[in-house]
Amino acid sequence: MIALMGLIGFLGFLGFYTGNFGYFGFFGFFVFFTYALKKYDELFDTYVKKAATTAFFTSVVLFCAALCAVVLLGDPALIPTLFTLVFVFSVMVFILRLIIYEMVENIRSREE
């Protein structure tokens, strides 16, 4: 099911149509198609849940910080930039945590 997140990557093609280069960031979601060939088991499901939880709480804290920054600086033009950075950072946290969990699993399986 996580491989379906790769479909979000097709939104990157809107960058060619609209001329807005910000859409090109969606191409990064194509990475999730690599999980289509992965054997799905309960341990992988646990890793996805752990990584998603970490990413969720990271985004909550960073969204609060970004909102406080916008209010304190009094510049509403910062909202799109800061919220985009928070979204990108939370997705990166999810991906990196999932990769770390898988690497640890591979190391443990080699030791056995």
Residues 10 and 51 in one domain: no
Give tens-digit pLDDT for 16-67.
Answer: 999 888 888 888 889 888 888 877 788 888 999 999 999 999 999 999 999 9
- Please report, in angstroms and rounded to a whole number, the separation of the first and last CA atoms in the chain: 29
The pTM assigned to this predicted structure is: 0.78
Do residues 10 and 24 lie in contact, with contact meaning Cβ atoms separated by under 8 Å? no
Would you state the pLDDT for residue 25? 85
Neighbours of 33 (CB within 10 A): 15
Our CA angle for 91, 93, 97, nearest 5°, is 120
What is the number of domains present in the chain? 2
Q: Say yes or no: 26 and 75 in one domain.
A: no
The alpha carbon torsion through 41, 107, 33, 9 (nearest 10 deg) reads: 120
Per-residue model confidence as pLDDT tens digits over 6-15: 899 899 899 8
- Are both 22 and 54 inside the same structural domain? no
Structure tokens at 106: 């591979």
